[in-house]
Amino acid sequence: MRPIGFVIYEDVALLLHNYLPNGTLAQFLHDPTKISEYEPDWPTRLNIATGVAEGLAFLHHVAIIHLDISSGNILLDADFKPLVGEIEISKLLDPSKGTASISAVAGSFGYIPPEYAYTMQVTAPGNVYSYGVVLLEILTTRLPVDEAFGEGIDLVKWVHSAPARGETPEQILDARLSTVSFAWRKEMLSALKVALLCTDNTPAKRPKMKKVVEMLQEIKQN
């Protein structure tokens, strides 16, 4: 999302953006004040997930890596079309390496790819991981970090360890959505497979964002 202007007053600098009435994806998913007015919204969520994937695929196409992909940095316009915020803190990739160096671990807690901690390099696969966390949020309506998961367990580990707990994929999904219809449940399970691929612990095994877009579009078409 591009700023439309800026304001500098003394030692304060502000970027100006168009007003987006539906706030952030984090608010859309987790705002407790909206629970009473909640309505099942899987098609909206799938459109948001696809739109974010398309935005990141474009950034990667022009060799730009986003440094802080999170539901709090995804803004929703009046029609719930997603806009990826904080583009101004992105990095250009070194075309010869496919990476960019950082001086400190970049990103929001719960979304940071595990490899960033020891490589200090941001990469396209790292962005894919962070996107996968967002997609898991959309599917489960759970925060990326929650004490309910247990000590040292985040959303990614909680989802990936479901089989070991004897839980089915259906039990991971937000039941308010997955139980509405067979079609919704089928689409959500397909999207869950995409999220699991994106959050694979091995960067080389994660799909490219372009492939993620194709998989989500196929879910919508089927």
Domains and CATH numbers, the chain: 5-221 (1.10.510.10)
Distance CA 107, CA 85 (A): 13
Residue 102 backbone class (left: φ over 0; alpha: ψ -120 to 50; beta: rest) = beta
Percent of the chain with pLDDT over 70: 81
Which residues make Cβ contacts (< 8 Å) with residue 95, sequence separation at least 6? 63
Tell me the whole-structure pTM to 2 decimals: 0.87
Q: Residue 110 pLDDT > 70, yes or no?
A: yes
For residue 90, give Cα distances in angstroms to 14, 69, 180: 17, 10, 39
* Orientation of helix 182-198 relative to helix 124-140, angle to 10°: 150
8 A C-beta contact, residue 221 and residue 215? no
Select which of 11, 31, 68, 79 is catalytic.
Answer: 68
Residue 190 backbone class (left: φ over 0; alpha: ψ -120 to 50; beta: rest) = alpha
Q: Residue 36 pLDDT > 70, yes or no?
A: no
The pLDDT of 193-214, averaged and rounded, is 98
Answer yes or no: 68 catalytic: yes
107 versus 69: the higher-pLDDT residue is: 69
Distance CA 64, CA 59 (A): 5
Distance CA 25, CA 45 (A): 9
pLDDT of residue 25: 95
pLDDT of residue 103: 44
Distance CA 132, CA 170 (A): 18
